[in-house]
Amino acid sequence: MQILVTGGMGYIGSHTVVELIQSGHEVIILDNLYNANIDVLDRIEKLTGVRPKFYEVDILDREGLERAFKENHFEAIIHFAGYKAVGESVRIPLTYYKNNISGSINLYEMMDKYHVDNIVFSSSATVYGDNFEVPFKEEYGQGDTTNPYGTTKKFNEIILSDFALANKDISVVNLRYFNPIGAHPSGLLGEDPKGIPNNLVPYIAKVATGELDHLNVFGDDYDTIDGTGVRDYIHVVDLAKAHLKAVEYACKHKGAEVINVGSGKGYSVLEVLHAYEKACGKTLKYEIHDRRPGDIATSYADTQKAKELLGFEVELGIDEMCRDSYNYMIHNLEDQKNR
* 203 is an active site residue: no
Using CB under 6 A, which of 198, 211, 277, 317 touches ligand UD1?
A: 198
The torsion defined by the Cα of 22, 25, 26 and 29, in degrees rounded to 10, comes to -70
Residue 226 phi/psi, 5-degree rounding, is -130, 15
Contact 137, 302 (CB under 8 A): yes
> Binding string to ligand UD1 for residues 13 to 52, with x set by CB under 6 A, is what?
----------------------------------------
Cα 143 to Cα 158: distance, rounded to the nearest angstrom: 13
Rg (CA), the chain: 19
Residue 208 binds what, of ligand NAD, ligand UD1, none (CB under 5 to 8 Å, by partner type)?
A: none
176, 231, 305, 331: which one contacts ligand UD1 (CB under 6 A)?
Answer: 231
- Dihedral sign computed on CA atoms, order 243, 300, 36, 79: positive
Catalytic residue among 55, 149, 222, 249: 149
Adjacent-strand bridge partners of 31: 56
| Identified binder of ligand UD1 from the candidate list 102, 131, 167, 216, rule CB under 6 A | 216
What letter does residue 138 receive in the DSSP assignment? G
Among positions 35, 145, 171, 299, the unique one binding ligand NAD when judged by CB under 6 A: 35
Q: Is 190 in the site for ligand NAD (CB under 6 A)?
A: no
86 binds ligand UD1 (CB under 6 A): yes
Nearest alpha carbon to residue 224 among 264, 268, 265: 268
Quickly list H helices, the chain: 11-22, 39-48, 62-71, 86-91, 93-97, 103-113, 148-166, 200-208, 236-252, 269-280, 304-305, 318-338
CB proximity list for 293: less than 8 A, separation 6 or greater: none
List the single partner that 150 binds among ligand UD1, ligand NAD, none, CB under 5 to 8 Å by kind.
ligand UD1
Q: Which of residues 54-83 bind ligand NAD (CB under 6 A)?
A: 58-60, 80-83
| Minimum distance, C-beta of residue 62 to ligand UD1, in the bound complex (Å) | 28
**Residue 107 vs 217, nearer CB to ligand UD1:** 217
CB nearer ligand UD1, residue 126 or residue 174: 126
Point out the residues that are catalytic: 149
Residues that bind ligand UD1 (CB under 6 A): 84, 86, 124, 126, 150, 179, 198-200, 203, 215-218, 229, 231, 269, 292, 294-295, 299
Residues that bind ligand NAD (CB under 6 A): 7, 9-13, 31-36, 58-60, 80-84, 99, 103, 122, 124, 177, 180
